[in-house]
Chain A
Amino acid sequence: MKLEIRNLSVEIGELTLLKDINLTVSEGEVVGVVGPNGAGKSTLLKAIMGLINVSSGEIMYNDKKINGLPTYERVELGLALVPEGRHIFPNLTVRENLLLGAYVIRKDKKKVEERIEFVLDLFPWMRERLNQLGGNLSGGQQQMLAIARALMSNPKLLLLDEPSAGLAPIIVSDVYKVISTLKNEVGISMLLVDQNVKKTLEVSDRAYVLERGRLVLEGRPEELYKEDIVRAYMGVKV
């Protein structure tokens, strides 16, 4: 698995959401993108999934150019996004939500059952709730379900958009425990976007700082100076 983004720009009318982004995610790597509200973090993930059109630049996945492909083909190729705000299907049961996650592998019934067992091992509490409606779960449980659902297709690269948004601190810790497990035990490559800088840098192998649509910093988490991140967030020199 290799994701390579070259000179990516996204413009909507006069508005420049992303400008000349260069970013890579290699096999087994967890890459974090941090930045303040409106920096373009979600836009970046949406562009990778084909939910919004890019104006210029290239999104290369395994050395194949994928911009222009519809979203469902990108999912078939092994990309999965856990969207901001969870977006689980409220009127489908937990099990049906998981089955939807396995939509691209639906023909292989055995594989689907294996994936269900896999995510139920990750989230044992879910076993009891398989027949409950997704909408009746708590916010934290819905976030877990959104992650579990994205894992059902056995993605090669998992994109996570603000997995800690709107959750109580203790739940945030749970979510990041899951992300650590995915990193250390499953070895899945991830591109993680979050406003929670501390948690993001803790789990990332490498991180980028995004500021008003541009990548201003890149490095290993311990190399990124606190001052630079603060500047990106506050827009002032410290």
Chain B
Amino acid sequence: MVDVNLAQAIVNGLMLGGIYMALAVGLNVIFGVVKIVNFAQGEFLMLSMYSVYWLYALIYLDPILSIVLNIPISIFVGWVTFKYLVKDVVEKGDYVHIALTLGVSFMFIGLAQIFWKPIYRGIPTEYATWAISLGGVNIGVTQLLILLYGLFSAIILSIFFRWTDTGRAMRAVSQDVMASMLMGVNITKMYTLAWIIGILVTSLAGNFLATFYYIHPNVGQDIFLYAWFVVVFGGLGSHIGAVIGSIILGIVQSVATMYISADLSLVIVFLVFILLLLFRPEGLLGREVRK
């Protein structure tokens, strides 16, 4: 008989993994195509959660229903940030990318603190406490939704990159910019699109996260670190890797918290991370770069 506590810890870990997954997938798209490690990715999640919050607070719109409005908002935010912040530095190299995206991250956090104060907010939804009970193991409905969302976006994006002309062109750009230009691909358009997709995927995770998580100017930073870890762990640019990485991170963290201690759980998580990188520096499913 399976220990109920262990089963519960694993299920909790899966749900936790869902949060990481949603952010990691967006991060991965941007890194995979535009080759920028977006340190502000978490802040796009934060901004999205605030927009979900205000849509709720002002016009009483349910966080899940507000996805409909959050899609055009996120696309607009992605487009504006690419056009005015990112576009001119894409070719400038890693140091500039880090400086820019870190700067944007601090700026967004600062603005959020000024406008909305560093207080913890939440959206009280009726379904926040709903749970499915399976043989004594409880599965929170809202957490399940974000896990499903993470999986769904990873699958949709994998299909997009594998089977569509635009997705294929984006993979080509990630491998060889000059050759892609020679194929007639509009590179700037691909960068813009990839950036918007990355921001959109992460932002919509905010809708699901806001149903059960706190909303605070620092919320993105806390999750970003784990999401980035997941991306490296799973293999840069690999969506399936990000999914598996998220699940492993979530489960290790959750099981270690239950059986060892919450304080040590992160130590164990990062030990696993270091061990993996020692033996597979390209990550779980990352491909060695061929020239």
Contact = CB atoms under 8 A, between A and B. Distances in A.
Please say whether chains A and B are actual partners in one complex. yes
A89 B184 contact: no
Nearest to B287: A91
A51 B178 contact: yes
B171 A92 contact: yes
Contact of B181 (A72, A135, A153): A72
Looking at chain B's contact residues, the main secondary structure is helix
A91 B290 contact: yes
Interface string A124-135: 000000000001
Interface stretch (A13-21, A96-104, A229-237): A96-104
B186 interface: yes
A80 interface: yes
B68 interface: no
B182 A81 contact: yes
A75 interface: yes
A80 to B, nearest CB: 7
Interface size class of B (residues with CB under 8 A): 10 to 19
A70 interface: yes
A103 B169 contact: yes
A212 to B, nearest CB: 25
Interface in A121-157: 135, 149-150, 153
A100 B183 contact: yes
Interface size class of A (residues with CB under 8 A): 20 to 34
B182 A135 contact: no
Given A89-B175, A90-B290, A90-B291, A99 B185 contact: no
A191 to B, nearest CB: 14
A75 B290 contact: no
B184 A153 contact: yes
Contacts of B179: 83, 87-89
A233 to B, nearest CB: 28
Given A83-B182, A92-B175, 9 more contacts: A72-B184, A72-B186, A83-B178, A83-B179, A90-B291, A100-B183, A100-B185, A101-B183, A103-B183
